Structure 1
Amino acid sequence: MTATSGYLSGPAPAGPPPTVRDPHWAFDFGFCVALQIVCVVPYLLGYEGLMSTGDGLIAAALSFALTATVMIRRQLPRLAVLAAAGLALMIAALISEPVMAIIVVPIIVYTAARWTDRRWGRIALALAMFGSVVGPVRWVFRFGFDVDKGALLIVTAFACASITGGAYLLGRRRNEWAENAHQRAQSELERQRLLIAEEAQRERAATMTERQRIARELHDIVAHSLSVIVVQAEGGKALAAKRPERAPEVLGTIAETSRQALAEMRQMVRLLRGEAEESDAEYVPTPGIDDLGDLVRRTSPLAGFNEYGDRPAVNQALGLTVYRIVQESLTNVLKHAGPNARSWVRIAYTPGSIELEISDDGRGAAAVGDGRGNGLRGMAERVGVHGGRLSAQPRPGGGFVVRASLPLDGFRSGPPHQPAAPSSPPPHPNVRPF
């Protein structure tokens, strides 16, 4: 593997770190140059009326240093505050006249309020307020103390304090605007993250619901078909010895049940893969109420089927639920009721609901089950999706009965209804989840 194959070949060779540039650097550099031209050059040229030559050189040097702090005001604002405060105090101590470079002080105060925390902003404001008093005192009384100049001192100090205070307030307001904008952006990002997480949760819930539905379908198809095949095969062995002419009938039932189970499994696999129906493939419609008679006939010759009322036109989901409840109940009869147990499937159609009753005269409470399946749970989930009711319990005197009530307009998308456990007698093992 070559070195160009990415992280699989090991860490990339170390190179020079990327250069990080402040986008405001060019502006601050130009601003600093402009300030130095205005505040330093006049002293270097020695314009008449500014101050003596010696004081002019000192003023030029200190002004150059003070204006240079503008260059670091964004990258190192705390250092800029300390440096500007020290240089301003040196100017006040060494030069008795105001210099142009003093305009840097409110700029640094604004910078501290805008780019640092509240504590450093207040420190910068306090230092500037102190300088607003020290500077005017030095300028007004440079020739000696004079009571008549008290008003001039007050006005000058007030003007300096107002400028620095205004710079601080402007900086704090800009800082608050930036913080609020950042918080709004963070809130929007969090809202988007929550929306994405909620959508992902909905997708996971939909996936889990679909998996449960597929698991119920597979369970009903496989459990019922194999139970019918096992019962028919065991009965066929005894029948072949006594009445050989009826053996083809039993084998035909086994073959028919196997073909239908394979067709339903093939249809479900095709659905999971997202494949379209092939033109020459056998089309197997979703079973429903119309298929109940054939289901009972194929399941057992000892099973009876009766309908009461006019059969309504129902949606595919409700029809499939009715079919699976009957299928699961008959499977329980085959597995737990005993070899000679008779069963009855009764379905009544009322104006507002479909009433189901599947009963048998088998072992009832004496049956023993492994309790490791999902039949009863699957029936409860199917009934609950449609807002119906389900009960399953042994019958007095022997046998077992499953009753379900399904409203014709009760389909809902909420959590499935869980049937209440019967108080007496205790649940029979042949309807334990299996």
Structure 2
Amino acid sequence: MPSAAERLVRDRQLVFDLCLCALVTLVTTGYSLAVGERALGLASLVITLPLLVRRAFPAAAFVMMTAGCLFALAVSEMPSAAGIVSVPIMIYTLARWSPRTLARLGWAVGVVGSFLGPARWAFAGRGLTDVTVFMVSVVACLAVVSGTYVVGRKLRESEDSAGRQQRSEAERRRLLESEQEQRDRAATVDERNRIARELHDIVAHSLSVIVVQAEGGRALAARHPERAGEVLGTIAETGREALTETRRILGVLRDGRGEASTAYGPQPGLADIADLVRRTSDRAELATFGTPPPLSPAVGLTAYRVVQESLTNVLKHAGPEARARVVVACTPDAVEIEVADDGGGETAPVSDGQGHGLRGMAERVNLHEGELSAGPGPNGGFVVRAWIPYERAAETQPDLPRVAAW
């Protein structure tokens, strides 16, 4: 259904064509009747009436006008004023709004008429003067017919070009919007994966520690009841920390701005690894090398999560009597981490397919263009190694050797 603007334009065009048809018909038909050419007056009427429907039915109007011009040539030797005025208007109409084939056909018929008309008018007396009149008339008619065709086609091409440019611009905007939507969706997926990794690391580690401490505490309570309070304290401390970190992450989900992280404390980092190892198990020990430089929160959190996930895997897979050694070295280029156990686990911890476990650690390290490897140790057990680069000021960093085991 056409819009209000389109209907307004169409109504204006109809009014214009009606006025144009009435004016040309009155002038040309009236002139023919005034000079006593009734047949030419009737032909003029047939020639000018198609101007009324030249936009809506261009092919029919063209055929009717052509028939009227041929009729005028047949019944009168006088030039047809209606044809001289109406034919260029029709050729312009065909060139401007009709398909290319119909427009070229109209121009070709106009060229033929540019010879037939002057021949009919000029050679009635068959004199030299008539030849001159013929040549001048032919040139004038050809100029008018070709000029109106060229103007019409140029305007049509200009409109087509503008339309193509608008469609191209609209398509470009659509593609940009689509790309932005894809980037937004990718960012959303990345954020969900990050939050999933955070929740997995927190919940899996904390529950593993709580389960191990609870089982050990049950046996300890039977032999040394006075030490049961220590185990319960460790369980409570681990649970509180897990609850705090979970609240922080869920707070980010609620407000989307990370304000909850400031309300519930900073994210864990490199300095918190010692406390993490202490709380995880009394069978885990920590060795550190070098002085850590100022690290970005993201690098510190990644190092912390690598140790946390590795210790969780030790608790889950290495066996009840396995011992673990955590080595953290700060070199001039990166933080280097090694977590090795002497347990009886023969296979690597299995990923659940959702980006957690070893896969989640690898994703974290890869975000910083680091390297992570995991596999059975040379003397049994399982070993996880991570190399996490960081930006540093070369003049302030000590020249520290890499860990010998690496």
Same fold by TM-score, threshold 0.5 exceeded?
A: yes
SS at match of 2:238: helix
Alignment partners' CA distance in 1, 2:349 and 2:186: 32
Alignment partners' CA distance in 2, 1:267 and 1:274: 11
The equivalent of 1:166 in structure 2 is 147
C-alpha distance after superposition, 1:361-417 (max 9, x if no partner): 1114x247555352111111110111111111111121111111111129xxxxxxx
1:310 positional shift: 0.9
SS at match of 1:142: coil
Alignment equivalent of 2:388, drawn from 387, 406, 428 = 406
1:244 positional shift: 1.7
The equivalent of 2:396 in structure 1 is none
1:139 positional shift: 1.1
Alignment partners' CA distance in 2, 1:278 and 1:66: 81
Return 5+ residue gaps in structure 1 as ranges.
Answer: 1-16, 411-434
1:109 positional shift: 0.6
The equivalent of 1:126 in structure 2 is 108
Relative to structure 1, is the Cα distance of residues 260 and 84 closer, same or farther in structure 2, using a 3 angstrom cutoff? Answer: same
Relative to structure 1, is the Cα distance of residues 260 and 243 closer, same or farther in structure 2, using a 3 angstrom cutoff? Answer: same
C-alpha distance after superposition, 1:196-255 (max 9, x if no partner): 111111111111111111111011011111111111112122222222222221122111
Alignment partners' CA distance in 2, 1:184 and 1:136: 44
The equivalent of 2:18 in structure 1 is 29
Native 8 Å contact 1:337 1:367 kept in 2: no
Count matched residues.
383
The equivalent of 1:379 in structure 2 is 361
The equivalent of 1:356 in structure 2 is 337
* Partner AA of 1:41 in structure 2: G
SS at match of 1:24: helix
Alignment partners' CA distance in 2, 1:30 and 1:375: 83
Alignment RMSD: 2.3
1:41 positional shift: 2.9
Which of the two has greater helix per residue?
A: 2
Alignment partners' CA distance in 1, 2:278 and 2:173: 57
The equivalent of 2:372 in structure 1 is 390
Percent of aligned positions with the same letter in both sequences? 47
Alignment partners' CA distance in 2, 1:409 and 1:61: 95
Alignment partners' CA distance in 2, 1:334 and 1:277: 31
Alignment equivalent of 2:254, drawn from 266, 273, 279 = 273
C-alpha distance after superposition, 1:250-293 (max 9, x if no partner): 122111111111111111111111078999x9623211111111
The equivalent of 2:328 in structure 1 is 347
SS at match of 1:40: helix
Alignment partners' CA distance in 2, 1:278 and 1:355: 31
The equivalent of 2:306 in structure 1 is 325
The equivalent of 2:400 in structure 1 is none
The equivalent of 1:156 in structure 2 is 137
Alignment partners' CA distance in 2, 1:313 and 1:349: 11
Alignment partners' CA distance in 2, 1:278 and 1:214: 15
The equivalent of 1:116 in structure 2 is 98
Alignment partners' CA distance in 1, 2:180 and 2:44: 61
1:73 positional shift: 1.5
C-alpha distance after superposition, 1:85-123 (max 9, x if no partner): 111111111122012111100110111011111110111
Matched, 1:93 2:42: no
SS at match of 1:314: coil
